[in-house]
Amino acid sequence: MPRINTENEERRSFFQWINFLIPYIYTSGIILILTWMILASLLLFQHTLKENPKELFLQSEKNGSSEAKSNVKTIESPSSSSSQEKETWLTILVKPIVESNFNKIIFRGLFLLLIWMLLFLILPVAFKRLKRFKFFNMEFEVDNIEQAAIETVEISGTKAKLMAYLTSDHATGRTLEFLNDSSIDYKEVLEYFLAEIQAGYKNHPLHAAFSYNVYTGAIPEELHELVEETKETGESAIFNKHNQDSILKKNYLVFYFCYGVDEYVTVISSYTYPFDILDRYLFELLHNTISKNIENIEYMVALTSTSDDGNGA
C-alpha cells in the first residue's frame, strides 16, 4: 500500500510573517515620528511660554547681537566687502530659520520620515504587488505584464497536467494498490492523491502551499455555509479572503461528495494561495475519478472471484 503523507498542514514561513507585518511596522514608525514631533513642539511651547513668551512671536535677538560683535572685531580688506555684504544678507534671511528650535523639530521630523519611507521603498517585499512607482525623477518598474501572462499560462498548464495524471492508467494502478480483501477504502485513496496534488502545487510555477482535511463526521462551524453551498450546487464552494496579504485568515475550497452510503467533505485551505475555477475542476475531477476507479476495480475483483468459484465448483 502506498505511503500516505499525514503532515499536510500548511506552515507560514518567517518571510511570510515579515511581509504581513511590514505595513504595520511602516505605519507604526510614521505614527511614532509624528508623535515625537507633536510632543517635542508642545514641550518647546511650554518651555518658551515660561521663560520668554515674546519668542513665540518674535525671533530672539541674542544671536544677532553676538554676530554684530563678532563682525566689529573682524576687519577684512575692501575687496571682500561685497561678498561680506552678501553673507550678511544670507545670514539675516537664513539663520533665524535654521536656529529656530521649532523649525529644528520640523526639519528633523521630516528628515526621519524621508529616511523611513526610503527604507521601506528599497525592500522588494514592501512593494511586490506594485506595477510602477515614481519617486521624484526615478521610476521603478516592478512587474512585467508579459511575464505575468506567461506565468498564468504555465500555471494553467500545470493544473491540466495534474488532471491528466488523475485520469491516467498510472493513477488507476496506484488506486489498485489500496485493494484489501476485494474492497478499497475511498478515504485512504483520496488522502493519498490529495498529498500528491499538494506536493505538485509546491513546485514551479505554482509555488503554492495548502492544507487538506477529509471530514466524515462533524465539520467546523465556520465552514457550514460553504458545506451547504456545495451540497446544493453539487460543485466545489470557494471562499477567498479580500486581503490576500493577511496570513491570519485562510482561503477555502470545500467539496461535498457521496460514495455509496458514506458522505465526505473535503476542505482545502491556504493562507497565501487564492483558489480559482481550475482548482475547482481539479478537485471535483479527483473525487469523481477515484470513485470511478474504485468501482471498476471492485467490479473486476467481484467478477474474478465469481469465475474462480464457478471453476472450483
Q: Which CATH number goes with the domain that contains 234?
A: 3.30.450
Give CA torsion, residues 253, 257, 262, 265, to 10 deg.
10
Tell me what percent of the residues of the chain surpass a pLDDT of 70: 75
- In this structure, of 112-116, 139-143, 232-236, 238-242, the range with the lowest mean pLDDT score is 139-143
- One domain, residues 249 and 109: no
- One domain, residues 59 and 193: no
**Is the pLDDT confidence value at 232 over 80?**
yes
Q: Of 140, 289, 120, 270, which Cα lies nearest the Cα of 206?
A: 270
Number of domains in the chain: 2
In a domain, 1, yes or no: no
Question: Which of 110, 143, 176 is where one domain is finished?
Answer: 143
- Give the cell for residue 301: 475483483
Q: Of 196, 203, 208, which Cα lies nearest the Cα of 168?
A: 196
In a domain, 238, yes or no: yes
- One domain, residues 110 and 87: yes
**Is the pLDDT confidence value at 55 over 70?**
no
- One domain, residues 48 and 172: no
- One domain, residues 156 and 257: yes
In a domain, 2, yes or no: no
Q: Please give the Cα distance from 72 to 67 (Å, whole number).
A: 9
- One domain, residues 51 and 80: yes
Contact assessment for residue 274 and residue 244, using Cβ atoms and an 8 Å cutoff: yes
| Structural element, H or E, at residue 43 | helix 14-51
Give residues with Cβ within 8 angstroms of 312, minimum separation 6. Answer: none
Give residues with Cβ within 8 angstroms of 228, minimum separation 6. Answer: none
pLDDT (mean) for 211-237:
96
Supply the pLDDT for residue 17. 80
Q: Please give the Cα distance from 97 to 106 (Å, whole number).
A: 11
Enter the pTM of the model.
Answer: 0.66
- One domain, residues 41 and 139: yes
**Is the pLDDT confidence value at 84 over 70?**
no
Higher pLDDT, 183 or 88: 183
Supply the pLDDT for residue 1. 59
In a domain, 264, yes or no: yes
Tell me what percent of the residues of the chain surpass a pLDDT of 90: 52
Residue for grid cell 452510503: 261
- One domain, residues 152 and 252: yes
pLDDT in tens, 140-183: 555 566 677 778 889 999 999 999 999 999 999 999 999 998 89
Supply the pLDDT for residue 20. 79
**Is the pLDDT confidence value at 192 over 90?**
yes
Supply the pLDDT for residue 66. 45
Supply the pLDDT for residue 63. 46
Contact assessment for residue 59 and residue 96, using Cβ atoms and an 8 Å cutoff: yes
| Structural element, H or E, at residue 162 | helix 145-166
SS3 76: coil
Supply the pLDDT for residue 245. 81
Q: Please give the Cα distance from 278 to 284 (Å, whole number).
A: 10
- One domain, residues 125 and 211: no
Q: Please give the Cα distance from 127 to 221 (Å, whole number).
A: 36
Supply the pLDDT for residue 180. 92
- One domain, residues 138 and 181: no
Supply the pLDDT for residue 112. 94
- One domain, residues 152 and 246: yes
pLDDT in tens, 18-50: 777 888 888 999 999 999 999 999 998 888 888
Supply the pLDDT for residue 135. 53
Question: Which of 112, 143, 174 is where one domain is finished?
Answer: 143
- Residue 250: φ, ψ to 5°: -115, 155
Higher pLDDT, 33 or 7: 33
Residue 19: Cβ within 10 Å count: 17
pLDDT (mean) for 107-136:
71
In a domain, 3, yes or no: no
Confidence of residue 267 (pLDDT cuts 50, 70, 90): very high
Q: Please give the Cα distance from 141 to 130 (Å, whole number).
A: 8
In a domain, 109, yes or no: yes
- One domain, residues 175 and 305: yes
Q: Please give the Cα distance from 277 to 22 (Å, whole number).
A: 31
- Give the cell for residue 217: 463526521
Supply the pLDDT for residue 221. 95
Mean pLDDT of all residues belonging to the chain: 82
Question: Which of 124, 143, 162 is where one domain is finished?
Answer: 143
- Residue 150: φ, ψ to 5°: -65, -40
Q: Of 307, 225, 241, which Cα lies nearest the Cα of 274?
A: 241
pLDDT (mean) for 80-94:
61
Contact assessment for residue 259 and residue 185, using Cβ atoms and an 8 Å cutoff: no
Q: Please give the Cα distance from 71 to 89 (Å, whole number).
A: 13
In a domain, 6, yes or no: no
Higher pLDDT, 286 or 306: 286
Q: Please give the Cα distance from 46 to 53 (Å, whole number).
A: 9
- Give the cell for residue 24: 504595520
Domain that residue 62 falls in: 14-143
Q: Please give the Cα distance from 269 to 209 (Å, whole number).
A: 9
**Is the pLDDT confidence value at 205 over 70?**
yes
In a domain, 275, yes or no: yes
